[in-house]
Amino acid sequence: QVQLVESGGGLVQAGGSLRLSCAASGRAFSTYTVGWFRQAPGKEREIVAGIKRTDSSTYYADSVKGRFSISRDNAKNTVYLRMENLKPEDTAVYYCAADRTNVVVTSTSGWDYWGQGTQVTVSS
């Protein structure tokens, strides 16, 4: 009973920054644990970051620690992914996912709701 819409993707040069947004319609985001996943050409979809429903504790993949930051604004029903010092290997379609359980699951099968994705392309 929730729809997710990603935005903020685009083309940037290596070393640049982007902020992705995941906006929810329907019930408030405060009832959902939310994750960001990405899928690069020819590769499997992988988790990037997650933020829990109850205490907003976070998870980050080793490849993005220190560069990406996930946050949420429950009043706006929105989750953000701030990406800094982007690298060409970050190029992928980025997806927002949500589930009502109070845990960040690293596999794609553990999530009930998905957005359509937003393209991030990092040149050079």
Task: Look at residue 101 in the predicted model and tell me its pLDDT.
Answer: 87
Task: With residue 16 as reference, give the H or E element that holds it.
Answer: none
Over residues 36-45, the pLDDT tens digits come to 999 999 999 9
Asked if the model's pLDDT at residue 26 lies above 90, the reply is no
CA proximity to 77, closest of 23, 4, 113:
23
Over residues 88-104, the pLDDT tens digits come to 999 999 999 999 888 88
More confident residue, 85 or 27: 85
| Mean pLDDT to the nearest integer, 23-31 | 80
Confidence label for 59 from pLDDT (cuts 50, 70 and 90): very high
Burial label for 56, CB within 10 Å (0-12, 13-18, 19+), is: middle
Alpha-carbon distances, residue 66 vs 33, 62, 77, 79 (angstroms): 21, 9, 25, 18
Task: Look at residue 52 in the predicted model and tell me its pLDDT.
Answer: 94
Over residues 76-88, the pLDDT tens digits come to 999 999 999 999 9
